[in-house]
Copies of this chain bind each other. A is one copy, B any other.
Amino acid sequence: MAESDGVEKRSRGRRRTTLADVARHVGVSSMTASRAITKPELVTPALREQIAKAMEELGYVPNRAARALASSRSKVISVLIPSFSNAVFTDVLAGLQDAVDKDGYQVLIGNTRYSDEEEEKLVGIHLQSNPDGVILTGLAQSKRVRQMLAASAIPTVSMMDLPSEPGQYGVGLSQFDAGYTLTRYLIDKGYRRIGFIGAQLDERTLKRAEGYRAALQEAGMYSPAREILDPHPSTVALGAELLGRLLAVAPDCDAAFCCNDDLAYGAIYQCQRRGIAVPAQMGICGFNDLPQSAWMVPSLTTISTPRYRVGFEAASLLKQLINGVQPARSVIDLGFTLMARESA
């Protein structure tokens, strides 16, 4: 009858197969079954095989929550990135996954949307899962985030930038140097009134801007009037708009350093719509070297950043810390490459 179904005890429902079920099936204790998974070399081959067969037959699926609770190792790595729509961070994620997959880690991904508040919230939430390690983007975490992480005593590695404080672990590149290098290239190419277009205004953009300024000041060509900084997220549309704004306030510009490739695409499209020849009348360069940059017309001069490797190396470094291995270096500088192409 339907009614009696309603009163059924939880124990009557179909229950997942547990390690105890497997052990019973084979006629061993649960810890032998447990060991057959975690430390197979400690179990007689014959038994090991029987246990494996039983697991297969009974459709055993380990329960991560139980394992985490008992062992106090969650096998979870928490990763916080500022954006999903920026290809830079999905590349980083790919490297990270690849570095960590075979070790049985589960990657918990949080999107901070470039917000300190969101980051705090996410750290709090991720901490509930007792991650074995945490990977952060950038170095500009709020005090509260630092505190929470310090209190939890969980190994932490930061990505993209190079930490300068002792005790901090990080993998990335010097955003300042890259900005400087690209600007220096433009100067050497003969550009004299070089503008800067930056959006989002996150730490990396600001450091690239500093590199830009340093190079121009050194060459005696710096003018603050040629800097367009906008807090909105970087998009192609915004790049088009900001190039317009740059030309409105500084019509004599002969080049624009766009703080990422998306903005640069927009800037180039804007030039094309206005009949401004790139690079003849206006040099345009970007930052990051997204796949498209080599193919567009004109191809984009930009800085290639080792995003996949940043993710991979950050995860490798974190694994060492988790396992109590003292890493060779606490800061890994992966560098960058100037890609001189047609647009500047």
Contacts and interface: CB of A to CB of B under 8 A. Distances in A.
Interface in A285-303: 291-292, 294-297
A106 B108 contact: yes
Contacts of A97: 111
A91 interface: yes
**Interface hub of A90, A130, A273, A294 (most chain B Cβ within 10 A):** A90
A265 B127 contact: no
Interface in A243-292: 262, 265-266, 269, 272-273, 291-292
Given A69-B63, A130-B65, A151-B59, A237 B91 contact: no
Contact of A84 (B14, B68, B93): B93
User: How many identical subunits does the complex contain?
Assistant: 2
The interface residues of chain A, by DSSP majority, are classed as helix
A129 B106 contact: yes
A174 to B, nearest CB: 26
Given A64-B129, A128-B63, A272-B297, A14 B153 contact: yes
Contacts of A266: 295
Given A90-B84, A94-B84, A97-B111, A125 B106 contact: yes
Contact of A68 (B65, B94, B106, B109): B65
A162 interface: no
Nearest to A122: B101
A124 interface: yes
A152 B158 CA distance: 37
20 contacts: A59-B151, A61-B124, A63-B69, A65-B65, A65-B66, A65-B130, A84-B90, A84-B94, A87-B87, A97-B111, A106-B108, A107-B109, A235-B291, A236-B296, A237-B295, A240-B295, A265-B292, A266-B295, A269-B295, A272-B297
